[in-house]
Amino acid sequence: MEFTAQQIADYIKGDVVGDPTAKISNFSRIEEGIPGTITFLANPKYEHYIYTTEASIVLVNDSFSPTSEVKSTLIKVPNAYASLAVLLDMVEKLKVKKSGIDSSAFISQTATTGENSYVGAFAYIGENTKIGEGCLIYPHAYIGDNVKIGSGTTVYPHTAIYDNCVIGNNCIIHAGVVIGADGFGFANENGEYKKIAQLGNVIIEDSVEIGANTAIDRAVMGSTIIRKGVKLDNLIQVAHNVEIGENTAMAAQVGIAGSTKVGSNCMLGGQVGLGGHIKIGDNTKIGAQSGIVSNTVAGSEIMGSPAIPVKNFMHSSIIFKKLPEMYKTLYQLQQEVEELKKNKQ
Amino acid sequence: MEFTAQQIADYIKGDVVGDPTAKISNFSRIEEGIPGTITFLANPKYEHYIYTTEASIVLVNDSFSPTSEVKSTLIKVPNAYASLAVLLDMVEKLKVKKSGIDSSAFISQTATTGENSYVGAFAYIGENTKIGEGCLIYPHAYIGDNVKIGSGTTVYPHTAIYDNCVIGNNCIIHAGVVIGADGFGFANENGEYKKIAQLGNVIIEDSVEIGANTAIDRAVMGSTIIRKGVKLDNLIQVAHNVEIGENTAMAAQVGIAGSTKVGSNCMLGGQVGLGGHIKIGDNTKIGAQSGIVSNTVAGSEIMGSPAIPVKNFMHSSIIFKKLPEMYKTLYQLQQEVEELKKNKQ
Amino acid sequence: MEFTAQQIADYIKGDVVGDPTAKISNFSRIEEGIPGTITFLANPKYEHYIYTTEASIVLVNDSFSPTSEVKSTLIKVPNAYASLAVLLDMVEKLKVKKSGIDSSAFISQTATTGENSYVGAFAYIGENTKIGEGCLIYPHAYIGDNVKIGSGTTVYPHTAIYDNCVIGNNCIIHAGVVIGADGFGFANENGEYKKIAQLGNVIIEDSVEIGANTAIDRAVMGSTIIRKGVKLDNLIQVAHNVEIGENTAMAAQVGIAGSTKVGSNCMLGGQVGLGGHIKIGDNTKIGAQSGIVSNTVAGSEIMGSPAIPVKNFMHSSIIFKKLPEMYKTLYQLQQEVEELKKNKQ
């Protein structure tokens, strides 16, 4: 399908700057733009590409004013990235979704699946499990006993959801995710570890997205809870009895130890580690690879392992490079002072 | 089911302090305690909750003496966490276990499964593979050719056990675990990598638990070995020819490079990285996110990347924050000393 | 099968030093060598074992000259590790490969599989998907719609390859790998995250090996690209629109954020994190656990988080240990200088 700049501008409520009849039939990244595609500029780091891109149309923020000639037709919108999202979403929705229950799926007699749900080949749905309307349960998904899944939720292949877990509406769970495996709980008895049975479950609220191969352990008692709107990237570890507040986003490979509570609207960079039994305040921002071992107040911006305020970390890291030089200077100075003290006598 | 404080105290050989007829039918965490539940206090960090918890019964250590009024009935035991484990275990054992061989499972004709073993839907068991008595092989488990699994072992969904691997008795292998994939071995020939065939296997001894999505590579020759009683959390990487000693426990996302030998009774925090070809002595404790590149002596407690003794790391980390201030002070001091030297002349 | 030292030397074009009739029937590691086995010495760290090993034959580099008596027969070759690889490979090739299409596999009517390909039990192959000749598609593999896989490629169990992805020839994809899950893209709208549809794909070129449970996300638009000859270890995260250059090797648990371009012939240590939207020059070597947030020039050798030149990192790390001592010295010195200044007046 082909669209003109004017048609697109009308759809996303933007203003055309340039040729309103410019036509596109696909998306491109600004640095790889070719004629017939639409791209966007949101990150200022990429601005220089707008002066050379071959893309026919570029979505830009209202605030953008070119410092040189731009060949492409521009569409100005309040938030170029958000408008791009609207366009991508439109295309995504045109895709035909899978439907029907594959005859090779294993659905236990006591399980129920809602209307318009898809259950793919070799999917397994356990006893007393209830799956809502319009869900997509992909091939090889494993959903244990007494699980509840809301409506509109997608479960990709090789996801394992253990017994008694609860998943909300409109969630997306990517391939290889494990929800509800036993928490890592042992009592050390004379040097050997005795397993602590993990009797709790995992509760995932609505509109949560969980990236590939992420693992969320069941609680020892009670629930491990992922609140509404949380977005977890790939290969993340969430230990037993953790709670993650609404609309918190975590990049890949973050690890959270047991019983820690993360506030809402937090942002965690990749490979961050949170110690156990701590509280991370709302709106906390944590830089990649940081390690946090104590509570943080709401709104903190921290980095390092152990983490300190971001600016402090940046400054100290610059000095870290100079440590050998500082060390030399310090002990030279010490000698000079000794010399001065001697001479004084 | 409902139990009284006295019944529970009798079962775990504890002493009731308070009402021996207090009844409970479920567990709770101390900060979320509600009437009709039993909870426990082991971590002193949580002591303040015991004065406000609504839980009917609290398991406490013999050494605990309240500093304020406690409403709950207490049961005193030598080790509250261990006694909790006994109670949770009792409940766990009341659960009905899966049994039987699902007709959709693929079991090769030359494979054998022991008595009272469960093999779930779509599970795959390869040629000449032997599975012991009372094993639980969940749906979608993949067990290759010539594998041996002892008795009483649980293999959760989507676990992949490659050819020729050996698993002991009473192991628990969580969903998504990969045992026996090829080690990362290549010879660089003129800038291209030529694969080194990985002909060894993985041996997992008895009573080992392996967390979700952990990967343990097969040896290039010989075996990668996980000794008796080892507990590995989720998303851990164990490279080829590694050996992990008895009763060592590792938190999530630890990574161990090739041919490294970890001693027995070690404890590794989350996201620790061990370099290749090193030896970690028995009883070593390694703080989260540490990086170890050389041998450690038995009983070391180390942290940091590269790791140093824990106390040293803590002290140096405190000073790290002050580096910008130190830097300024140092060069100011240098100027002052220069000034003093001039004046002296 | 049994081979003599002379037969082996002829096969790998090496020179026998010692008994050319020495016989072996298996491989061993030098520290575990037993009679009847062949081992190798490449890493100088292991040299001392050659004087005590019981292995009948040891492959050594031409440059090796023993400093003490060696009981084993030696075979001298230009590169002992490469020659070992040749021998291991010979044995690997003697293994009988799986073949045929299992009747329980799900192959959509519009999919095609090349000659001599194996498709295991419960494997799933989606619509319009094309699989080349001589591929091994293991049980429980999931291959979505419109996927293209070249010839000679192995896909191990529980691998998930999402729609529209492209895999080259002679690739090896280990168990639990996820290729083409949605990139982590969201637009924040008033504190809630709106999903950005991820319409691109993943392209894996020829001769790529991908370790267990690694995740490679699809591009938001265009492609995430893994170039020819790349070797990725286990549990690695590759975000959307990343590109990894030819013959680059990455150890386990590396994480790469979105849109970053890694050059060719790079080597990344375990648990390295690369920030988003950066360029890593060709031939860059990055030490384990490093964090990179800006572009690197070709040939850099860096380490630390944030990374600095390796030698600088090593020196600064040594001083890091001495920070408490430096701190004390510095402020003592400051006092002494104050004293000197006073006395001067």
For B254-296, the pLDDT digits (tens) are 999 999 999 999 999 999 999 999 999 999 999 999 999 999 9
Catalytic-role residue among B48, B158, B240, B315? B240
Contact C27, C55 (CB under 8 A): no
Band of pLDDT at residue B173, cut at 50, 70 and 90:
very high
Structural domain boundaries, residue C340: 316-344
**Is C128 part of any domain?**
no
**Is C214 part of any domain?**
yes
How does pLDDT run across A188-230, given as a tens digit for each residue?
888 999 999 999 999 999 999 999 999 999 999 999 999 999 9
Contact C30, C41 (CB under 8 A): yes
Give yes or no for residue B162 having a pLDDT over 70.
Answer: yes
| C281, C334: one domain | no
Catalytic-role residue among A140, A158, A240, A315? A240
> Which CATH number fits the domain that encloses residue C228?
2.160.10.10
**Residue C343 in contact with partner chain A when CB distance is under 8 A:** yes
Q: How far is residue C213's CA from residue A255's CA, in Å, rounded to a whole number? A: 16
> Which CATH number fits the domain that encloses residue A37?
3.40.1390.10
**Is C234 part of any domain?**
yes
| C216, C246: one domain | yes
**Residue A289 in contact with partner chain C when CB distance is under 8 A:** yes
CB within 8 Å of chain A, chain B residues 132-151 = 138-140
**Is A331 part of any domain?**
no
**Is A115 part of any domain?**
no
How does pLDDT run across A226-255, given as a tens digit for each residue?
999 999 999 999 999 999 999 999 999 999
**Residue B34 in contact with partner chain A when CB distance is under 8 A:** no
* Chain B residues close to C121, C-beta within 8 Å: 106, 124
What residues form DSSP beta bridges with C127?
Answer: none
| C294, C338: one domain | no
Q: At what angle do helices B310-321 and A310-320 cross, to 10 degrees?
A: 110
Band of pLDDT at residue A334, cut at 50, 70 and 90:
very high
What residues form DSSP beta bridges with A340?
Answer: none
| C280, C334: one domain | no
How does pLDDT run across B35-85, given as a tens digit for each residue?
999 999 998 989 999 999 999 999 999 999 999 999 999 999 999 988 998
**Residue A20 in contact with partner chain C when CB distance is under 8 A:** no
| C36, C88: one domain | yes
Nearest-CA residue of chain C relative to B145? C98
Q: Edge-to-edge strands of the sheet including C148-149? A: C112-113, C130-131, C148-149, C166-167, C201-204, C223-226, C243-244, C261-262, C279-280
Output the CA torsion sign for A67, A73, A77, A83.
negative
The secondary structure element, H or E, covering residue B223 is strand B223-226
**Is B111 part of any domain?**
no
For residue A170, what pLDDT is reported? 98
**Residue at a domain's end among C53, C74, C94:** C94
For residue B170, what pLDDT is reported? 98
Q: Count of CB atoms within 10 A of residue B311's CB?
A: 11
What residues form DSSP beta bridges with B231?
Answer: B209, B249
| C172, C289: one domain | yes
Q: How far is residue B84's CA from residue B73's CA, in Å, rounded to a whole number? A: 15
* Interface predicted TM-score (ipTM): 0.94
**Residue at a domain's end among C69, C94, C119:** C94
Can you tell me whether residue A343 is helix, strand or coil? helix
DSSP string, A14-79: -EEES-TT-EESEE--GGG--TTEEEEE-SGGGGGGGGT---SEEEEETT---SS---SEEEEES-
Quick one: three-class SS letters along A270-290? CCCEECCCCEECCCCEECCCC
A158 a catalytic residue: no
Band of pLDDT at residue C82, cut at 50, 70 and 90:
confident
Give yes or no for residue B164 having a pLDDT over 70.
Answer: yes
Band of pLDDT at residue A342, cut at 50, 70 and 90:
confident
Question: Of C224, C154, C148, which Cα lies nearest the Cα of C185?
Answer: C224
| C74, C168: one domain | no
**Is C139 part of any domain?**
no
| C216, C276: one domain | yes
Q: What pTM, to 2 d.p., does this model score?
A: 0.95
Number of domains, chain A: 2
What residues form DSSP beta bridges with C224?
Answer: C202
Shortest Cα distance, chain A CAs vs residue C64, angstroms = 38
**Is C104 part of any domain?**
no
| A167, A260: one domain | yes
| B90, B170: one domain | no
Band of pLDDT at residue A341, cut at 50, 70 and 90:
confident
CB within 8 Å of chain B, chain A residues 42-61 = none
| C165, C272: one domain | yes
Shortest Cα distance, chain B CAs vs residue C121, angstroms = 7
**Residue at a domain's end among B54, B75, B94:** B94
| C187, C268: one domain | yes
For residue A345, what pLDDT is reported? 59
- Among C158, C177, C317, most B C-beta atoms within 10 A, so best to mutate, is C158
